[in-house]
Amino acid sequence: MGVGIEVTNLNAWYGTNHTLQDINLHIPANHATALIGPSGCGKSTFVRCLNRMHETNPIARVTGGVKVGDVDIYADAKPVEIRRRIGMVFQRPNPFPTMSIYDNVASGLKLNGYRNRRVLDEIVEKSLRNSALWDEVKDDLRKKSGASLSGGQQQRLCIARALAVDPEVLLMDEPASALDPVSTSKIEDLIFELKSQYTIVIVTHNMQQAARVAEKTGFFLNGRLVEFDSTHKIFTNPSDKRTEDYITGRFG
Amino acid sequence: MPLSGNPIRSKIRAATDNAVTGLAILATLLVIAPLLAIFGYLIYKGASSVNLDFFTKIPKPVGEEGGGMANAIVGSAVLLALGTIIGVPVGIGGGIYLAEFGRGTKLANAVRFTADVLNGVPSIVMGMAAYALLVGPQVSWLPFLGHFSAFAGGVALGIMMIPTVCRTTEEMLLMVPHAVREAALGLGVPNWRSVLSITVKTASPGIITGCMLAFARVAGETAPLIFTALGNEYWSLDLNQPIAALPLQIYKYALSPYDEWHRLAWAGALVLIVLIVLSVSLVRYVTSRGVLKGAS
């Protein structure tokens, strides 16, 4: 089951560049939350702070608190453990090119020392079914490389890989921006399905996508969270003038 | 006006295209030509002396007909095995450090610079250094020191392999896309595990190529062996004794005044090249069998 995320006074830097300033918000459990805003507004940095990927860049720095469920991820846990609980799907599909489809899905478990073949088989099938890819690849699981699939299939493979470690939260950083409309709609259907089991945070440039999949939407601008509310309210009656300008296409 | 509208321009474009393509083909031929010429000449000069005796007999004394280089072939294999055991792990380990763990540190920059310098050191100097370190010093309680030996030759070849293996490993690791590393970290895989199981594995075809280049390069080295392995006219597999090697044998026979030895030297050169090509192809075949459909 998913858990909620409580963010308090989050600040982030790349070198001297203050990319996130005083972010406070609550992301509800088992819902999809969309983050929108123009390029460079900090939304990607924000999701990368939620699983401590931000700090893998040597010049990056973070202050403030992020509570995932009951765990303050910056105080109580190691980054490696956090990333196992919080899965991530990236903008460009990034399957491991040397691994088969099966090994790609099982990689999170295998690389952490999990070996039980029968259980792995079950988890791989379940994860591929959950990411709506099973029927397309079930005959080539061990024969084909993850890199041999089409872009949309690769992205669903990456979702299956993230699901296989059984996370509580799924972070998606523009998961459909490199895909065609058919693949995009498959990913969106998937987000709809997955909400019941996971808390989903999705960064997107596509405002229709945010409106279609998310219950809550946050609007970022210049490193600040301008407005965070129900998706319906953001898109029909935003409280802030800047949000309205953005969603009506006056800038960005 | 659309570019394609002018027939003269269009002709010039087509001519330029043909000229550039022609130049590229010419350059390719120039690259292949020396290789084919050398190989053809070796076959012409050496093929007639390559027979069963060549692979099964040891050299005969001056004046006697026949004899072969069986001991030198085996000796070269021993020396190269020793060199590879020393050069490949150290080189790959160093390359991993340079690309993954030490990136940007002073130590890494110093190691990279040293490796580049080492790569440019003439092989004869490498042989003298190995002589000074391993053959010269008399240390009674260390069995391998103080005299010419297969061990000293293997170490000299191994040290020569290190810089090539190290730098190609580094280059290949740096070519692994950042997205692949991020994918591993995003799954909660510890960094060291991600480096060994994901990054190195993804780069492995290139790393293997680097190892093969280093192997092929030292397989033909003569100079470092003159001061270390010395050569041997008889069968020997003792690492503690001088050992025969194909390049040494070729060198000795080619400089001799006897026609029979000249023929054997040509045959030796031909066999050396064929064996290098065979071993490189074998490694390529074995390592490519596990590759999956569609893997880049």
- How far is C-alpha A231 from the chain's CA centre? 18
User: With a cut of 0.90, is the ipTM above it?
Assistant: no
> What CATH number does the domain containing A208 carry?
3.40.50.300
Q: Tell me the pLDDT tens digit for each residue of A1-42.
A: 778 999 999 999 998 999 999 999 999 999 999 999 998 899
Mean pLDDT over each residue of chain B, to the nearest integer: 90
B32 touches chain A (CB under 8 A): no
User: A108, B189: Cβ pair inside 8 Å?
Assistant: yes
- Block residue for tokens 């390592």: B287
Element (H, E) at B200: helix B200-219
- Min distance A227 CA to chain B CA atoms (Å): 28
Chosen for mutation from B101, B105, B178, B187 (greatest number of chain A CBs closer than 10 Å) is B187
Give me the mean pLDDT over the B159-186 stretch.
93
Cα separation of B110 and B268, whole Å? 40
Residue B267's pLDDT is 93
Domain with A14, as residue range(s), is 5-99+167-247
**For the residues of A190-210, what is the DSSP string, one character each?**
HHHHHTTTSEEEEE-S-HHHH
Domain B76-244 has CATH 1.10.3720.10: yes
Residue B8 host element (H or E): helix B7-46
Give the single-character DSSP code of B60: P
Confidence class of residue B60 from pLDDT cuts 50, 70 and 90? confident
pLDDT band at B290 (very low <50, low <70, confident <90, very high): low
For residue B6 the two structure tokens come to 């002018």
Of A87, A143, A158, the CB nearest to B292: A143
Asked if the Cβ–Cβ distance from A96 to B184 is below 8 Å, we say yes
The predicted-structure confidence for A156-199, as pLDDT tens digits, reads as follows 999 999 999 999 999 999 998 888 888 889 889 989 889 989 99
- The verdict on residue A147 lying in a domain is no
Please tell me the total count of domains within chain A: 1
B229/B241 Cα distance (integer angstroms): 8
Partnered with residue A34 across adjacent β-strands are A202, A217
pLDDT digits (tens, 9 = 90+) for A132-143: 899 999 998 998
**Each residue of A67-107: pLDDT tens digit?**
998 889 998 888 888 999 999 999 999 999 889 999 999 99
Cα A32 to its chain centre, rounded Å, is 10
Tell if the CB–CB gap between B187 and A95 is shorter than 8 Å. no
Tell which residue, A112, A60, A91, has the closest CA to residue A175: A91
Sheet holding A86-89, edge to edge: A86-89, A169-173, A199-203, A32-36, A216-221, A224-230
Q: Do B188 and A84 touch (CB under 8 A)?
A: yes
Residue A110 belongs to a domain: no
Judge: B188–A165 Cβ closer than 8 Å, yes or no: yes
> How long, in residues, is chain A?
252
Option in A88, A94, A145 nearest B292 (CB): A145
- Calculate the CA A241 to chain-centre distance: 28
**B209-227 pLDDT tens trace:** 999 999 999 999 999 999 9
Contact between A88 and B186 using a beta-carbon 8 Å cutoff: yes
On whether residue A158 sits in a domain, the answer given is: no
Strands A169-173 and A5-14: unpaired
pLDDT at B1 over 60: no
Q: How far is B255 from chain A (nearest CA, A)?
A: 50
> What's the token pair of residue A8?
């308090």
